[in-house]
Chain A
């Protein structure tokens, strides 16, 4: 993957700073807009995943670069927490209530459903647009979650590995979820290289990706990372089935439908592992993480709602 096309003065600074390892003459400017800011942070996070062919690898741990990353992550975390505050955060009295509190949070979520639209009404261009946006995450599906493994107590760690083993194809590279998605993209004529559609990504898409990277990269946010995972898995199997129906309705079945089909079954299992064996035991072992788990779950649902709202509005759907 190559460095993305800048969207303002800050992402311009980041892109040129990463392309050239020397300390910059000018300090990083303030972002022009949210679009610019979210692309800048996405680019900095990406250094810890697969990197860029045209960036200096040492930039990942360069203090000047880290300083900018820290500034942007702080602003992102404040945005996410203030949305949770506005929504009226729930708190659990006893850690053992975490799985049912997660269920309640998911059940109360009344955001618009992209999968419903795909199943019934979306046209081909809309589905392709949705898949390009989704590709930013699905091509690295589960990777930010993997960072959390060493930070968990015994039971949550074992449960997360049980889940991740399945996400990563149960040892078979052909069944790795991100690989299944790449095969799906190829089959419907989209580009499948890692990061192919970043230049088309909406700021809402980048913010979703930045949130999981933030949660995954910081040990302090392990509870939020696991709560996010639980909400993600708990809202996956039924919508995945609708995606399969919509893709087949539009003659886009085959490998892309197979990707979603895999998630119908897999996530019906994973949601229980995530809510009970991961989040439930983490909250028991580290009770101060209980409310953080709910914050992470809310963030997942909230960011999906914002993304779906913007996309549906742009389609006048």
Chain B
């Protein structure tokens, strides 16, 4: 089979989980505070329940799914 290219999106929405963001250098949170990004991929909280917004801390897993 010939080689093909693959999808590698910069923004990935995880079902019932965070939004993964690639290649960002800074992120502004809901209060307007700008956070530097030091990693190639970050996970942004979508459930708003994280203890360290804007980042996901896994709390979404203990929230009942509606």
Residues of A within 8 A of B (CB): 154-155, 158, 162, 165-166, 170, 175, 237-238, 241, 264-269, 271-273, 276
**Contact of B62 with A162 in the complex, beta carbons under 8 Å:** no
**Contact of B57 with A166 in the complex, beta carbons under 8 Å:** no
A-chain residues with CB within 8 Å of residue B43 when the two chains form the complex: 265, 268-269, 272
**Contact of A267 with B58 in the complex, beta carbons under 8 Å:** yes
| Minimum distance in angstroms from B50 CB to a CB of chain A | 8
| Minimum distance in angstroms from B23 CB to a CB of chain A | 11
Q: Give B6's nearest chain A residue, CB to CB.
A: A155
Number of interface residues of B (CB under 8 A): 22
Identify 16 residue pairs between A and B in the complex whose beta-carbon atoms are under 8 Å apart, listed by A's number.
A154-B6, A158-B8, A165-B40, A166-B39, A237-B58, A241-B58, A264-B57, A265-B43, A265-B57, A268-B55, A268-B57, A268-B58, A269-B18, A269-B43, A272-B12, A272-B20
Residues of B within 8 A of A (CB): 6, 8, 12, 14, 17-18, 20, 38-43, 51-52, 55-59, 61-62
| Minimum distance in angstroms from B11 CB to a CB of chain A | 13
A-chain residues with CB within 8 Å of residue B58 when the two chains form the complex: 237-238, 241, 264, 267-268, 271
| Minimum distance in angstroms from A243 CB to a CB of chain B | 13
B-chain residues with CB within 8 Å of residue A272 when the two chains form the complex: 12, 14, 17-18, 20, 43
**Contact of A238 with B62 in the complex, beta carbons under 8 Å:** yes
B-chain residues with CB within 8 Å of residue A175 when the two chains form the complex: 38
A-chain residues with CB within 8 Å of residue B62 when the two chains form the complex: 238
**Once the chains are docked, how many angstroms separate the CA of A158 from the CA of B43?**
18
A-chain residues with CB within 8 Å of residue B12 when the two chains form the complex: 272
A-chain residues with CB within 8 Å of residue B39 when the two chains form the complex: 166, 170, 266, 269
